[in-house]
Amino acid sequence: MTSVATLGSHCSLQVLKGAKDEGLKTILICEKKRERLYKRFPFIDEFIMVDSFKELLDQKCQIILEQNDAVLIPHGTLIAQMSSEEIESIKTPVFGNKWILRWESDRTMKENLMREAGLPVPKPVNNPNEIENLVIVKRQGAAGGKGYFMASSEKEYHAKREQLIKDGTISNDETLYIQEYAAGVLAYLQFFYSPLREELEFFGVDQRHESDIEGLARIPSNTQLTMDKVPSFNVIGNSPLVLRESLLEQAYTMGDDFVQASNRLVKPGMNGPFCIEGVYDENAKFTSFEFSARIVAGTNIYMDGSPYYSLLYGESLSMGRRIAREIKIARNTGKLDKITT
């Protein structure tokens, strides 16, 4: 019997509920400290208890998953806690393309793929002495916005960097990545590409709420000027957003271009859920600073179904359930190898 497994964090509840609704067995790889939390949810059939998610790589864990014919759904926690090599070494079939996750984690590879897809990316700044406009300074890997900061001059860059080193937020030898800041309305565009249907589906849009950059807007500017804390972009939660309908066409085009570029650069391409993340400016021009090549936590806001999926499918489908449905169809038609790596 095919089952769906995932790590207990990020969007695991949505993923496993969706699998259960599609009649598949559900397995949670659960850290012992979170057992009480996840045992509250009745749709989880089996728990694999671990001290650390890295135990997913152990033979013991892999054997249980194999015995259950499990498909592993990767999400942000897998990427945050494991290296690309470790992810690529997972023996359990991974939903989507595990090879593309390396392109998400490595800043240079990420930029190459975004450029190949023709996404309008912010201008990179190679050296702090080249800062001319407002920039955002990021850390390597998926740091989730923690320790990121803005600067509008080389002097400000060094002052803030020093302060973050002093705070212990970043280390002295850490290579930071600088790019021009894109101002506007944040939009995280969520898609699903089905290699079975050979079709791109637009699922929905979310906005991330990031602390403490958002909290700043509640503080009068004269008080802000007296504060010396460097605000961060740490994600706290997500909320829904609907795009103007006239922007949908461009969203689909970006999604299609991304799928095609992925297919050229990293076989078998961008299968399954993904997200293009960026900002719309005052002319509704989109600048994309990031992509996620797997399900994003922002889809959690549509656990009861996304508005666009109601239009496409005439029923309430979460992203978790959409994934499970793809697995079911692939299993029933002997095509599991087309949707997993």
Residues lying near ligand ATP in the complex (CB under 6 A) = 122, 136, 138, 142-145, 148, 179, 181-182, 186, 208, 210, 233, 235, 277, 279, 289-290
**Burial profile 54-81: b = 16 or more Cβ within 10 angstroms, e = fewer:** eebeeeebbebbeebebbbbbbbbbbeb
Q: Which is nearer to ligand ATP, 182 or 301 (CB)?
A: 182
Q: Which is nearer to ligand ATP, 57 or 279 (CB)?
A: 279
| C-alpha span between 315 and 40 (Å, rounded) | 27
Cis before 21? omega within 30? no
Q: Side chain identity at 146, as an amino acid letter? A: K
Q: Which is nearer to ligand ATP, 48 or 301 (CB)?
A: 301
Cis before 268? omega within 30? yes
- For the CB of residue 66, give the shortest distance to ligand ATP in the complex, in Å: 30
Residue 287, number of CB atoms within 10 A of its CB: 18
Q: Which is nearer to ligand ATP, 58 or 86 (CB)?
A: 86
- For the CB of residue 122, give the shortest distance to ligand ATP in the complex, in Å: 4
- For the CB of residue 186, give the shortest distance to ligand ATP in the complex, in Å: 6
Q: Side chain identity at 199, as an amino acid letter? A: E
- For the CB of residue 300, give the shortest distance to ligand ATP in the complex, in Å: 14
Structure tokens belonging to residue 330: 């692939």
Which residue has the closest beta carbon to ligand ATP?
Answer: 142
Q: Which is nearer to ligand ATP, 24 or 251 (CB)?
A: 251
- For the CB of residue 44, give the shortest distance to ligand ATP in the complex, in Å: 25
Please check whether residue 96 is in contact with residue 292, taking contact to mean a CB–CB distance below 8 angstroms.
no
